[in-house]
Structure 1
Amino acid sequence: MAESVDGEEVEYQKHAKYFKRFLNILPERLASHDSTRVTIAFFAVSGLDVLNSLDLLPDSFQQDIINWIYKLQVVPRPGEPSAGGIQGSSTFNVSGTSPHCGLKQYRWGHLAITYTGIAVLVALGDDLSRLNRQAIIEGVAAVQRDDGSFSATIEGSEHDMRFVYCAAAICSMLDDWGRVDRQRMADYILKSIRYDYGISQHFEMESHGGTTFCAIAALELSGQLDLLTPDVRERIIRWLVFRQQDGFQGRPNKPTDTCYAFWIGAALKILGAFELTSFKDNRDYVLSTQDTTVGGFSKWPQAYTDPFHTYFGLCGLSFLNEPGLQEVVPSLNISKRAYRRLQDLHRQWRLERDGHACTNGEVALHIE
């Protein structure tokens, strides 16, 4: 059990400074994550957004981040594979003197990076006008597998529920499902519901809190949440609620972990059952992992902090209506402010495309 932290407050300013540091330089222990630097930027920028502290970043610096993400955009040339999207860092911007050197094969969009990259652009108020939306959606469709799942990249990648979620989030944010087969995607999700009614990363694997969120969110984003029968829905809720010890665990008989304040909390939010949890125990656990000296949250008390757990800890506190935090839209994992900006872009695109909203089966989340 986490130690009692009655009366402890969220260190808003210290957490904001913590995120800001990660936008300037990575500590040595995170150097191995250079190839996924966009995801670190997502945690930092979105964390500042949830903290209502984006104004700590000068306008010029925000524009630098926007321009950097656009430089990582991959737009295939005619005749090249449909590998459109965003790559993780400039590490992959390799070049060679020979047109046949093959180095350009590493210039692939990655679903998780594309999702987090778009989310950063939206959080910073960009209008997404420099995104090649068609190339991105074609890239998403190109990595859908026959079983309905998605790979992260066009070759040499795992394919599982994590990337199902990323694909659904990208299509939802860009308001275009293109050639993505939503029915096959839903079939994959339904076949991954396990005997205990958690949802696994892939067929016949163990139920997991993170992938249960990915599956539930993907169903909502694709307008297919009603494929869960009332009985199945109730059993999934039961599995999720039972993940609370004080904080939340990701699997039975595992320790609690700060990040599941989001993964489990968001899944329950989508299913309309978050009120079944103990808010006090949840808050106490998350705050027990807070570094009150320099900011940040860790997965466990007395462990190293990192931007991943710091961001998801704050999201978990936002679900608890912690004062001073932006509301988080659980299915897209962005602030409500960013979501409203995205809705404005969708209305603009629909008017440009065909003059009216919600055509071709698009789904609006109808968040008040």
Structure 2
Amino acid sequence: MAQTFLKKKHIKFFERCLQILPSRYCSLDNNRMTVGFFGISGLDMLDSLDVLENDKENIINWIYSLQLLPDDIDSNIHQCGFRGSTTLGNPFKAEEARKHPIPLDSGHIANTYTALLSLIILGNDLSGVDKRSVTTGLRYLQQEDGSFCCVPEGSENDKRLVFCCVPEGSENDMRFVYCACCISYILDDWRGVNKDKAVQFIKNSMSYEGGIGQGPGTEAHGGSTFCAIAALVLMDKLYEAFNEKEIKRLKQWCISRQQTGFQGRPNKPVDTCYSFWVGATLKLLDMFELTDKGFNRGYMLETQNSITGGFAKWPDHTPDALHAYFGVCGMSLVGEEGIQPMHPALNVSQRAADHLENIHKLWQSKS
């Protein structure tokens, strides 16, 4: 495998992700927004958004078309947010969809997160986002234990929740706690999150090993540890949630995940995406400089495809959108030339995060 970072190949890979995908991606059609985010943010990280200049407005309009808006009497406000695609057949224009809602239609917390980030990356000012309905929708997703579901669940006691996307309830774990915190941070509005409950859920999810699982009593995992620590950083609650001893154990667990690249759990093979998940966690804990960047970079380059571009999870495997994106993010963390620096907590370029900060200043000046 080439030991040179093939930037031009990766640019072409992300361009293809936004144009046409192999048939094996069909099962991800309802999460098209998130796959799109990997392509958009991947190009941004490579400082190559200019290749989208002719399509930028069309992409922004497509993203806004996925926003589920409240009807005139707010009967569906618990379902608001951004869909992952038009799988249900709703009209391209959000206003038309508002007038003719589909009973089982619903936003999805992960796609809301990636939609908002994509808009920021593309330079949009978020003026088209119905902030009130998005934050209200978040409140319906938070559970008693502080975790979040990805879509609203049905309830016999609330007639508004009878026709929800998943009447029996959805998964609820650390991934969606992170998404909720990112959405609230982006919109500069935390009314949709009970911070105390969310922090307690994260605290309860720390395992005996020192890492953090998807929920209480679950195995510590690199992905869920990132979600937990990034959520606490965005809430400005990291050192309130964990004491000095717990932070030390957490750092030790994370730094121990490096073999050549990083693994997600003990006794598991290394995987490209954990160079971001664990690497970004160490960055947030001010520990990344203690990693072996040479070993980490070397492993990631072994997984890059010299023909098509993109990264795979393992050497000699087919690259995919997720690992290609997090491979680029991992290379950013080790300081690879030609890649933008990251805002690790939001999982976006620092340039995009700076644009978001300017949006916040504008909102605050008008309030």
Partner of residue 145 from structure 1, selected from 132, 143, 146: 143
The aligned residue for residue 198 of structure 2 is 185
* Residue 94 of structure 1: how far off its partner (Å): 4.4
Contact kept? 2:69, 2:77, Cα under 8 Å: no
The aligned residue for residue 12 of structure 2 is 17
Partner of residue 263 from structure 1, selected from 242, 254, 277: 277
Q: Work out the CA distance in 2 between the residues paired with 1:24 and 1:201.
A: 34
Contact kept? 2:137, 2:192, Cα under 8 Å: no
Partner of residue 272 from structure 1, selected from 272, 283, 286: 286
The aligned residue for residue 222 of structure 2 is 209
* Residue 136 of structure 1: how far off its partner (Å): 0.6
The aligned residue for residue 175 of structure 2 is 162
The aligned residue for residue 73 of structure 1 is 67
Contact kept? 1:93, 1:107, Cα under 8 Å: no
* Residue 202 of structure 1: how far off its partner (Å): 1.2
* AA aligned opposite 2:349: S
When the two structures are superposed, what TM-score results if normalisation uses the length of structure 2?
Answer: 0.91
Once the two structures are aligned, what percentage of the paired residues are identical? 45
For residues 147-178 of structure 1, what are the alpha-carbon distances to aligned partners after superposition, in whole Å with 9 as ceiling and x for unaligned?
00000011231000000000000000110001
SS of the equivalent of 2:223 reads helix
Q: Does residue 313 in structure 1 map to residue 351 in structure 2?
A: no
Q: Does residue 35 in structure 1 map to residue 30 in structure 2?
A: yes
Partner of residue 58 from structure 2, selected from 61, 64, 70: 64
Count matched residues. 341
Gaps of 5+ in 1: 96-101, 354-368
For residues 76-102 of structure 1, what are the alpha-carbon distances to aligned partners after superposition, in whole Å with 9 as ceiling and x for unaligned?
22223411110000112348xxxxxx9
Q: CA RMSD in A?
A: 1.3
For residues 166-209 of structure 1, what are the alpha-carbon distances to aligned partners after superposition, in whole Å with 9 as ceiling and x for unaligned?
00000001100014210110000000000001100011111100
Q: Work out the CA distance in 1 between the residues paired with 2:192 and 2:48.
A: 38
* AA aligned opposite 2:48: S
* Residue 105 of structure 1: how far off its partner (Å): 2.7
Contact kept? 1:11, 1:292, Cα under 8 Å: yes
Query: Measured at CA, do residues 158 and 52 of structure 1 come closer, stay the same or move farther in structure 2, by a change above 3 Å?
Result: same
Q: Work out the CA distance in 2 between the residues paired with 1:103 and 1:335.
A: 35
Q: Work out the CA distance in 2 between the residues paired with 1:217 and 1:148.
A: 16
* Residue 275 of structure 1: how far off its partner (Å): 1.0
* Residue 56 of structure 1: how far off its partner (Å): 0.9
SS of the equivalent of 1:226 reads helix
Contact kept? 2:184, 2:192, Cα under 8 Å: no
* Residue 140 of structure 1: how far off its partner (Å): 1.1
Query: Measured at CA, do residues 314 and 179 of structure 1 come closer, stay the same or move farther in structure 2, by a change above 3 Å?
Result: closer
Query: Measured at CA, do residues 74 and 255 of structure 1 come closer, stay the same or move farther in structure 2, by a change above 3 Å?
Result: same
Deviating above 3 A after TM superposition, structure 1's stretches of 4 or more consecutive aligned residues are none
Q: Work out the CA distance in 1 between the residues paired with 2:17 and 2:52.
A: 12
* Residue 262 of structure 1: how far off its partner (Å): 0.4
Gaps of 5+ in 2: 92-99, 154-168
